[in-house]
Structure 1
């Protein structure tokens, strides 16, 4: 183990020494000098720069090509001007084009970025890491994003209020924009100095040109901007916006006989308010009371046979705004101390029912209110504080006689997140910290007989269930962390790291359940470094990461490091953590082909490697991958990858059983696609893996079709088919005398899904969007077996197959007579499954005035368990096309007051 690790470290250090000879070319910073319009009338935003105010400043031009051939003259030149007053920044663009009839004017929804466009980026903090981006297309469609991590993250969820117009003439096109200073964040200073970049996309050539040259080997984006000077004595604008909303919702579904909770339709009225208050120009307080997320698109369907939770992206507007400030990724970058979807999650408590009972269970926890204080000061402090309270959720159970009782399925819960970072060393270094806290009120009684609350039977029910939530949920959870990054030599080299600690408390039952969850599995039979302690009422763990490398300069990029997550680390009350008890060493190497040739516009090759261990010292995994990408001269592209896993052990496969060895594995992927600018373009791809002796095989086939027959209409259809075959898929754990039997089987799982999108843009402020996804997954098991030597090299030595005379079926169970004495030794449920789902959203969105919107939403959903014996398309016909769907109709109206 040590020898392999030293070899990898030596390999990484050798790369570092070889690569440091390549230096970034020095580029002179450009400066644009703006001017106040003073007594002049403000420009009218009509796409025609004919007002006298524009004559106060000169045009600036001399753009340079960025892509594909960096540092060469662009095909078409671009000019711009910037003026300002005490309330607004005005920008005018002149996009010259000698073939004006070929300007592409494709319509799309906001942030669609279709066709020709021009964009201005403003680093108003001048921190060389973050910025505000405003994009306007030739068709007048707006795009706006918040830039972070020096251009490695562009967040389109930021939706400020600003104004724009475009016109086209024989010599090209014009764009004019007005940005309220209240939508930007900057410190108080006599003269503001902001980072500045302007980028133009010439669509028909897929050419990008920029005002400030940024070499292809630059270590980032924002750090390379030019500068905007001349902003004198502008007053920071304290933003105050209030946005009340009203919602009506009608749910229709197939009525269930005898179930008063499912009578065929439900009607709801709801209202709430969002507010944005500028405490200072740097720092903003966002508030929401009873938020509604009715227009949010449905999550994609997924099935996890490994037992781990599935990560879904946040889509709710309140949480996506300024989410970069609260972001605290560590370890493998999938784990995060703050996973906002924990707030308002589905209730976690269970209720006891009989076959004759009906239950009305809330789908999500109600967010009573939330507040978020966030921003960045001029002297480099990034601050984020979030506080939210979700209500106690109660389920109602009705028996066959009509008697009702209630059960608390989610307690009143408080969530808190505090985040702080500080830039220094001329913005080349930052340090930061984070603290999160969750506290639940678990003191509620859980069951009440509503018809006779004082009855003895009711009191007995209360006594039986009053501690149910306390037994399953943790009382409190706290995490803290420290992170840093240091860049040097013009940001070409970096070192960064973080460390986290967690502390959770609860009842003995809750902490025991935590120890035995799939994230921890302290009960593993062959693990000597962990054990289940049923007397514990708390757990404390740590994790972290340290990495260093080269992020710019020349053709080479590399990084390497390690991370760890201790066995006791627990983040899932407000964060996201799939698996604890892991140490990983990793290294990555990339070579970039920076100059285009007759064959390609750009290309790269990469190699990466990682090895994992657990805290007992077991060497569990080593993996190598080679990757290549090429964007051809005609804008078609290909990416390909090969991987080899010569060593694979898993601590979680047998769900608390011993460590398990997988057969050696090789995998590959190949994707290619046509020019994405064309009215019709496609992507076709495959990825798959093969274990030795076909002990495991996986195949995934992907097709993505996109068609835009009209400037206003686009259609995409993305079918995907997966085949998963595993000879040792975990099924169950059963007792056999004093020896547990870990039962696996040969699974063949087929999954078919397709996402369908139709976007029709009537004008940039009025759009109709449709999203639908049918999803079918069927798994059939055979050749059941039990584990006898989980670490054996050959599969035949790892397991013992049951013979036909040992297995019999009864109802929907398998009965095992292992010792062949004619008596059942144990049984397990038939694991075959067929899951069918269809979800769709049809959304009409009208921004009738800037910042104020009307949403009309029609959502449909069908969920069902199909017949595992059917073919996939028969399940599609029976379970989706043959079912009556559930419908939700939502009308939401918002009005944004700017005070």
Structure 2
């Protein structure tokens, strides 16, 4: 610990030495206004990047940009100017980006939303709500970037892909760009004159400098709330958007042939089609529809292993669910906990299958989405609205034995998902209140049942086969509802926000009992007096929420404090994401920002945090302290360092249904640093080191990220990562000893190696080739098996008792335990050693042949295997990936977007 403090002190002292005091009084910045004019009878500009049409003379240039980063409120290296025109269908923008040395303009190509090289962007707060906006970016190389801005600039969603048009040109003065944005792609209310928030932001690449039209001080409480204004939009009619996008997909799969398995004959061909549509009900609100959606070109999820038993969160990548996701977002506690987690829709089938020896199973990988509709948007008077409805198909697994006898098992029922979300702004957009409601309904009574009392049952089964209903573990229905609010004051520098959530799930006795026993709840814990398993219950009702307040702008200091809770009976995982319940957490943090650059750094900050947790029985489970700092040097290299201390660590979940467990006190330290990311070659190197008293456990993570762009059209990244995770008390299993539960842990030596590889080749801004690949290897070896003696003892030796050689023996991959040494085996433990090896890759050619219409050529490859835990990692890589026949998917997808 003393070395961690020393490292941090050496890091922080130079910052304080060179830091300059920022202004203590509030900064008052005058709002700028740009007044546009209509084209009327003038001919619309041709979008070719050359600002020479006479129609541009209808309006004046506006300039006087001011530097925003790194040295705020100083003149930029080179000036920028722009002008805006409009007609009844389009908004036109022209830019002139001056550059004293045009030969050095960086024209790096990238895929859409790559934001490489020099660029300029316009941000439009068309709702004028001072929280949300639309962003359109154009690079000097002609690559588009478009994002939806929310949370006053804290969230930029690049999944939004509207149709718009642009072109650029480089000349002796610098570079120019023209942009044409259909008003149908924007949302705004109906009024005589529109007043929109406006900002134009330029990146001057070689100096890594940002300059803006409307000055935004570094201590401002947000981004959108500080915009200037666009005036002069008179009598523009809201555009009722109507887009229809049919698609067709052909897919050919190859995979290793399995002898005797009728479902794995080595290849499979599929032909599919569907339809997406976007209908503007009003200019504010849009109805999105999808029928038989296909997500075949979506990048594979990264490989991961969770020995703690908890579910793993994966981000949403499907376009239908990603667009406007900010409206449906309802994070109510911390981390990824969310009332709506769209990956529940179309999830892997959940039903179990009683597979017998000699049987082969054809199980669907995902649940078919029959259709989905999403109604969302924001009105001029401050209402954010979202309604989502989706129906997924009943999924059936086919089972066949060696003699050709077949049967079926329902592994996912017909299910309806519903989400409704609303928020209302008021108090001059400084306050909002909102709510959410979700419902999941499953049809669990749709099995084809065989009457066991019918004498013809056996004959019928032989002729028609049987269909089993294996859905007793699923809940029949699940509902949740919540309220949220936020209030800002003193020019949005201070805020308070909070939310409440309640859930109610219903199902059979078996389903609700299983819910009580899930790791999320653990009602069966023997030492818990406030929860218990009730096998007769058919419903559960729980609550959660948070209250937070703090300072978000003004001066150098930022701070936050609050509390959140999740009651033991809260259950959201039918349509949300909830990792753990039975927790109350208090937290507080403070940050100091160094706002003025010096000879040492461009920007820097220091952050301190503390939190403590309790369960609903009143047990004091955890306290943690952390201090970290970040500095971006004048040469654009950077360093991030921090350390933390956990003097108290209790958990109700480690023994997976067993009693409360204590870990030894823990310390951690991390250090990351990287080079200038503008360079053709740049890197990041990092290390995380965690250690506990008595060597209870440790965690070491080594990270290297390498990025190389040998020429403008090609970029390569390689991100290897190696993790060591030894633990003397890794949970293994629960067994029975003389009628009492016995919890077994062991010393695990776990090593994990992964490397993500990305290559992007851009033939032009609309034609790209992208490759992603990731080998993943993890192996764990268990030794020194022990049983839990006193799970909350401070001393590790009292917490567990290690079996001696007379108590434990190993044969035929099974550990036999004679705990009382009477010569008779008391219980056995299957060998938990493991080696998991996986390789996934995607090669995608994407051609946007006209704006909004695309063709994808995709080659996906995957290998998954279980290696020998006795091998080292690279031998597993060779044996289980390089020497194995992979599964391949070849896919062609074509879309055409009709804009009506």
TM-score relative to the length of structure 2: 0.96
Distance in 2, matches of 1:210 and 1:486, equals 28
The offset of 1:810, in angstroms, is 3.0
Number of the residue aligned with 1:188: 190
The offset of 1:456, in angstroms, is 2.0
The offset of 1:53, in angstroms, is 1.1
Distance in 1, matches of 2:683 and 2:761, equals 20
- The residue correspondences of 1:332-371 to structure 2 (distance < 5 A) are 332-371=334-373
Distance in 2, matches of 1:570 and 1:351, equals 25
> Which digits, 9 at most, give the CA deviation of each residue in 1:411-445, with x for residues without a partner?
00000000000000000000000000000000022
- The residue correspondences of 1:704-723 to structure 2 (distance < 5 A) are 704-723=705-724
Number of the residue aligned with 2:609: 608
The offset of 1:354, in angstroms, is 2.0
Number of the residue aligned with 2:14: none
Are residues 732 and 674 of structure 1, via their aligned partners in 2, closer, same or farther at CA, if it must alter by over 3 Å? same
- Secondary structure of residue in 2 paired with 1:804: coil
The offset of 1:447, in angstroms, is 7.2
Preserved CA contact (<8 Å) 2:613 2:622: yes
Preserved CA contact (<8 Å) 2:621 2:651: yes
Are residues 463 and 543 of structure 1, via their aligned partners in 2, closer, same or farther at CA, if it must alter by over 3 Å? farther
Alignment counterpart, residue 56 of structure 2, candidates 40, 54, 57:
54
> Which digits, 9 at most, give the CA deviation of each residue in 1:806-849, with x for residues without a partner?
11123222111111111111112111000000000000000000
Q: Does 1:422 align with 2:424?
A: yes
Distance in 1, matches of 2:397 and 2:701, equals 41
Preserved CA contact (<8 Å) 1:629 1:638: yes
The offset of 1:805, in angstroms, is 1.3
- Secondary structure of residue in 2 paired with 1:374: strand
Distance in 1, matches of 2:570 and 2:26, equals 41
Number of the residue aligned with 1:385: 387
Number of the residue aligned with 1:326: 328
Distance in 1, matches of 2:456 and 2:68, equals 77
Preserved CA contact (<8 Å) 2:645 2:667: yes
- Secondary structure of residue in 2 paired with 1:655: coil
Are residues 77 and 454 of structure 1, via their aligned partners in 2, closer, same or farther at CA, if it must alter by over 3 Å? farther
Number of the residue aligned with 1:14: none
> Which digits, 9 at most, give the CA deviation of each residue in 1:845-865, with x for residues without a partner?
000000000000000000001
The offset of 1:22, in angstroms, is 4.6
Number of the residue aligned with 2:689: 688
Are residues 93 and 604 of structure 1, via their aligned partners in 2, closer, same or farther at CA, if it must alter by over 3 Å? same
Are residues 23 and 527 of structure 1, via their aligned partners in 2, closer, same or farther at CA, if it must alter by over 3 Å? farther
The offset of 1:613, in angstroms, is 0.1
Number of the residue aligned with 1:822: 823
The offset of 1:386, in angstroms, is 0.1
Number of the residue aligned with 1:572: 573
Name whichever of 313-322 and 687-696 sits farther off. 687-696
Structure 1: give runs of 5+ residues left out of the alignment.
1-18
Number of the residue aligned with 1:628: 629
Number of the residue aligned with 2:496: 495
Preserved CA contact (<8 Å) 1:124 1:185: yes
- Secondary structure of residue in 2 paired with 1:223: helix
Distance in 1, matches of 2:797 and 2:449, equals 52
Distance in 2, matches of 1:108 and 1:859, equals 22
Number of the residue aligned with 1:753: 754
- The residue correspondences of 1:524-539 to structure 2 (distance < 5 A) are 524-539=525-540
Preserved CA contact (<8 Å) 2:333 2:565: yes
Distance in 1, matches of 2:579 and 2:26, equals 39
> Which digits, 9 at most, give the CA deviation of each residue in 1:60-92, with x for residues without a partner?
000000000000000000000000000000000
The offset of 1:113, in angstroms, is 0.2
- Secondary structure of residue in 1 paired with 2:640: strand
Number of the residue aligned with 1:232: 234
Q: Does 1:553 align with 2:549?
A: no
Distance in 1, matches of 2:886 and 2:449, equals 33
Distance in 1, matches of 2:245 and 2:467, equals 42
Distance in 2, matches of 1:772 and 1:747, equals 29
Number of the residue aligned with 1:44: 46
Distance in 2, matches of 1:676 and 1:209, equals 19
- The residue correspondences of 1:869-880 to structure 2 (distance < 5 A) are 869-880=870-881
Preserved CA contact (<8 Å) 1:382 1:420: yes
Are residues 495 and 460 of structure 1, via their aligned partners in 2, closer, same or farther at CA, if it must alter by over 3 Å? farther
> Which digits, 9 at most, give the CA deviation of each residue in 1:698-753, with x for residues without a partner?
10000000000010000000000000000000000001012211000000100000
- Secondary structure of residue in 2 paired with 1:822: coil
Number of the residue aligned with 1:808: 809
The offset of 1:446, in angstroms, is 5.8
Name whichever of 697-706 and 811-820 sits farther off. 811-820
Distance in 1, matches of 2:867 and 2:445, equals 41
Distance in 2, matches of 1:861 and 1:215, equals 49
- The residue correspondences of 1:280-679 to structure 2 (distance < 5 A) are 280-445=282-447, 455-456=457-458, 468-469=470-471, 471-679=472-680
Distance in 2, matches of 1:356 and 1:447, equals 24
The offset of 1:23, in angstroms, is 4.5
Are residues 23 and 489 of structure 1, via their aligned partners in 2, closer, same or farther at CA, if it must alter by over 3 Å? farther
Structure 2: give runs of 5+ residues left out of the alignment.
1-20
Distance in 2, matches of 1:831 and 1:436, equals 40
Distance in 2, matches of 1:325 and 1:461, equals 52
Preserved CA contact (<8 Å) 2:480 2:502: yes
Number of the residue aligned with 1:105: 107
The offset of 1:334, in angstroms, is 1.8
Aligned length: 878
- Secondary structure of residue in 2 paired with 1:472: coil
Are residues 800 and 162 of structure 1, via their aligned partners in 2, closer, same or farther at CA, if it must alter by over 3 Å? same
Are residues 398 and 100 of structure 1, via their aligned partners in 2, closer, same or farther at CA, if it must alter by over 3 Å? same
The offset of 1:693, in angstroms, is 1.8
Preserved CA contact (<8 Å) 2:409 2:470: no
Preserved CA contact (<8 Å) 2:867 2:876: yes
Number of the residue aligned with 1:258: 260
The offset of 1:407, in angstroms, is 0.8
- Secondary structure of residue in 2 paired with 1:54: helix
Preserved CA contact (<8 Å) 1:24 1:218: no
- Secondary structure of residue in 1 paired with 2:512: helix
> Which digits, 9 at most, give the CA deviation of each residue in 1:597-638, with x for residues without a partner?
000000000100000000000000000000100000000000
Are residues 212 and 823 of structure 1, via their aligned partners in 2, closer, same or farther at CA, if it must alter by over 3 Å? same
The offset of 1:355, in angstroms, is 2.9
> Which digits, 9 at most, give the CA deviation of each residue in 1:154-200, with x for residues without a partner?
00000000000000001100000000000000000000000000000
Distance in 1, matches of 2:456 and 2:708, equals 66
Distance in 2, matches of 1:599 and 1:525, equals 58
- The residue correspondences of 1:28-43 to structure 2 (distance < 5 A) are 28-43=30-45
- Secondary structure of residue in 1 paired with 2:343: helix
Preserved CA contact (<8 Å) 2:408 2:466: no
- The residue correspondences of 1:266-285 to structure 2 (distance < 5 A) are 266-285=268-287
Q: Does 1:765 align with 2:756?
A: no
Are residues 446 and 793 of structure 1, via their aligned partners in 2, closer, same or farther at CA, if it must alter by over 3 Å? farther
Are residues 438 and 234 of structure 1, via their aligned partners in 2, closer, same or farther at CA, if it must alter by over 3 Å? same
Are residues 145 and 514 of structure 1, via their aligned partners in 2, closer, same or farther at CA, if it must alter by over 3 Å? same
Preserved CA contact (<8 Å) 2:407 2:466: no
Distance in 2, matches of 1:510 and 1:789, equals 32
Number of the residue aligned with 2:776: 775
RMSD value, Cα: 1.7
Preserved CA contact (<8 Å) 1:447 1:462: no
Preserved CA contact (<8 Å) 2:382 2:424: yes
The offset of 1:461, in angstroms, is 13
- Secondary structure of residue in 2 paired with 1:336: coil
Distance in 1, matches of 2:86 and 2:286, equals 23
The offset of 1:466, in angstroms, is 5.0
Preserved CA contact (<8 Å) 1:406 1:448: no
Number of the residue aligned with 2:17: none
> Which digits, 9 at most, give the CA deviation of each residue in 1:839-898, with x for residues without a partner?
000000000000000000000000001110111000000000000000000000000000
TM-score relative to the length of structure 1: 0.96
Number of the residue aligned with 1:65: 67
The offset of 1:57, in angstroms, is 0.5
The offset of 1:50, in angstroms, is 1.1
Preserved CA contact (<8 Å) 1:405 1:447: no
